[in-house]
Amino acid sequence: MEEEVSRLVDRLTLEEKLRLIRGAADPEGTATGYVPGVERLDIPPLRLVDGPLGVRAMGERATAFPSSIALASTWDPDLAREFGAALGREAAAHGQDVVLGPGMNLIRVPHCGRNFEYYSEDPHLTARIGVPTIDGIQSEGVAATAKHYVANNQETNRYDVSADVSERALRELYLPGFRAAVEDGDVLSVMSAYNRVNGTHMSDHERLLQDVLKDEWGFDGVVVSDWWGTRSAVAAAEAGLDLEMPGVGIEAFLPEEMPAQGADDGGAELPDLDDLEGMVDSVDADAGGGPLPPIPEFPAYFGDPLREAIESGDVDEAVVDEKVRRVLRLVDRLGRLEGDAPEGTLDTPEHRRLARDVAVEGSVLLANDGVLPLDGGDSIGVIGPNADAAKLGGGGSSEVSPLVETSPLEGLAERFDEVAFERGAEPIAESSFFNPTEDGQADADASIEDAVALAESVDCAVVVAQDDATEFRDRPDLALPGEQDALIEAVADAAERTVVVLRTSGPVTMPWLESVDAVLETWYPGQADGEALAAVLSGDADPGGRLPVTFGRSADDYPTAGEEAFPGVDGVASYDEGVFVGYRHFDAADVDPLFPFGHGLSYATVEYGDVTVTETEDGFEVAATVRNVGDRAGTEVVQVYAGTAAAPVPCPERELVGFEAVSLEPGTETTVRIPVEREAFAYYDDADGWTVPDGTNDLVVGRSSRDIEAAFRVEC
């Protein structure tokens, strides 16, 4: 492979080399990014496509899978690999070579508009779900892209904000997911983030791109810029950026039309370019940031500007040769130099089943006062401003247009004998970059009074509530938008039983929690929304999910509550909380969460038996016996946390180091064995690097970060 790649590099002209390291307009108009190839040397084009939640080939349809945070809520690496493989097959079916996902960024800010695209506030869980997703995608002859490298934790002022973060926090929190993607997942592509880190834009960040990613971790794939995220020619070229995207201005990038989400036919004309730029500017301004930086005009930085720098001697052509070599290596690894291209499959029964399974297994039962599961003969009042539409995802580059979809109303009407519907409040507008909401969606007939009347007449009121999250904008607060909180309170006062179904991108406040009987978090469930919801509420399936993020009681509970931390002051977001993010912060600050990291209820009644820790050659093995003493099948997620008590620096009370999800039939038991390496106790020291402290440390086993079943002291 390397000999063939070197032979091709030697035969390329400088102009041809530059064509291979920047994007161009896709003649088919479907790819998110397009590298034209070199026909003279039989180098084929390379097509890159958005895909964290499903394939977003422009103007095309695909399976709309649940959001990434829902996938992480399954705590099931095998299911993540199955999802990745399906994503790879669908990308191949659309003639695409590279999937621009998964998103490996940590959930630091609960308001972040793209949290639904990310996995967790915890780096171990992020890695354990992200790596098999990558493996699944690449098993189908399609490259995966770990994004957005690194510390891309907010949308407000995302193009210029500097994440001022310590080396220790980078190493312990923000880099491990990407490191696992490289070292364990052999990911073929990594996307650089828009933001700056400690003052330097990521496209120009030589220490993180070259020194850490490529030299230290041995990444030999392609570093691709985020779209219009390249900020220089010379600095980016020498820092280690390999491929600039999209390489053209927005006029050439966007097609003239694309289908409206969920439409059966026809296309929705995109706004005029000036209107589009104004729309994006206003979205970003509403979020508290300034207008977007100017969209670069063609030729791109890696076009004429880089060519001129080479001709003037400011950049050695060998720098470009290395970038070309990486691009050709990727093309060759996919078999494209030999003409191999997988056919893939699209919208198969298997993929539809998988979309449902992820939605079911990722549903987290937060609270249940004995009301769930519901009886099939119960009369159900479905209430909610958007309960008659599937929640496919958030806005931005992850938007997917499915071929089929099922709303909560449709799903429950199919499963239960008697179902009625009231909106209760005006619909929540859903932000969309590619499928703008049509005007006039307000429902003048929607009223809380009508919802209350329905709630009084049925056996159970099911209130479906949601937030609105999107790329480009962070959520203004953690409250449910519109009148939804008031609607839930009123329904709960009137109904005999009230179940709240949340379709949110992350944590939300719940002022009505004590008034309702059950709360189910389904995140953004995708096309199988209603089908999965009916299965869970009826008890046909167990809600298998556990929280991958901490739910606080208010935004003030999080370490990013201050303006300096988020959204930042004078273009700088201070990560002064260091390694104390998510549950690590809640433990250190002794803040009682609304629902802790790892929390989730089951319809099964699971008890823990013997829990032991045994020393091994590499560290320790935790063994936990769990048994289902109830009369329903269900899921238990055994979680192992380590505490570095012997460290000479402040460390989190406990950190997730292992887990396993098990399904248990009634009356059965199993023993779960989870290895824990000694390196799991390591902290990062600026002088000595990764250090395992000598002395007595802690291992705990629990159902969540706060619900502990057993604790042990171990010697390292």
- The label of the residue with tokens 């850490």 reads 212
As a 3-state breakdown, the chain gives helix, strand, coil percent values, each rounded to 5, of: 30, 20, 50
Note if the bond before 373 is cis, omega within 30 degrees: yes
Give the whole-angstrom CA distance, residue 659 versus residue 628.
Answer: 18
Give the whole-angstrom CA distance, residue 675 versus residue 655.
Answer: 15
Type of residue numbered 42: D
Output the CA–CA distances (angstroms, integers) from residue 346 to 91, 239, 334, 435, in the order listed: 8, 39, 20, 22
Of 265, 246, 264, 263, the residue nearest 255 (C-alpha): 246
Output the CA–CA distances (angstroms, integers) from residue 573 to 108, 284, 471, 559, in the order listed: 12, 17, 18, 12
> Is 532:363 a contact under the CB 8 Å cutoff?
yes
Q: Is 17 left (phi over 0), alpha (psi -120 to 50) or beta?
A: alpha
Output the CA–CA distances (angstroms, integers) from residue 534 to 40, 153, 447, in the order listed: 56, 34, 25
Of 208, 118, 231, the residue nearest 223 (C-alpha): 208
Instruction: Pick the catalytic residue from 50, 122, 135, 226.
Output: 226
- The label of the residue with tokens 């050659």 reads 617
Kindly give, in sequence order, each residue whose CB lies less than 8 Å from that of residue 145, ignoring residues fewer than 6 positions away. 48, 98, 99, 100, 101, 187, 188, 189, 190, 191, 224
> Is 129:637 a contact under the CB 8 Å cutoff?
no
With the C-alpha atoms ordered 140, 88, 155, 124, is the resulting torsion angle positive or negative? negative
Tokens encoding 307? 């060519």
Tokens encoding 233? 């020619």
Output the CA–CA distances (angstroms, integers) from residue 370 to 497, 502, 602, in the order listed: 10, 18, 11
Q: What is the CA radius of gyration of the chain?
A: 25
> Is 173:581 a contact under the CB 8 Å cutoff?
yes
CA dihedral 335, 337, 343, 344 (to 10 degrees): 50
Tokens encoding 330? 């990727």
The string of DSSP codes covering 301-317 is: TTTHHHHHHHHTTSS-H
226 is catalytic: yes
How many Cβ atoms are within 10 Å of 318's Cβ, its own excluded? 8
Output the CA–CA distances (angstroms, integers) from residue 350 to 53, 347, 354, in the order listed: 16, 8, 6
The string of DSSP codes covering 50-99 is: E-SSS---TT-----PPPHHHHHHTT-HHHHHHHHHHHHHHHHHTT-SEE
Instruction: Give catalytic residues, as residue numbers.
Output: 226
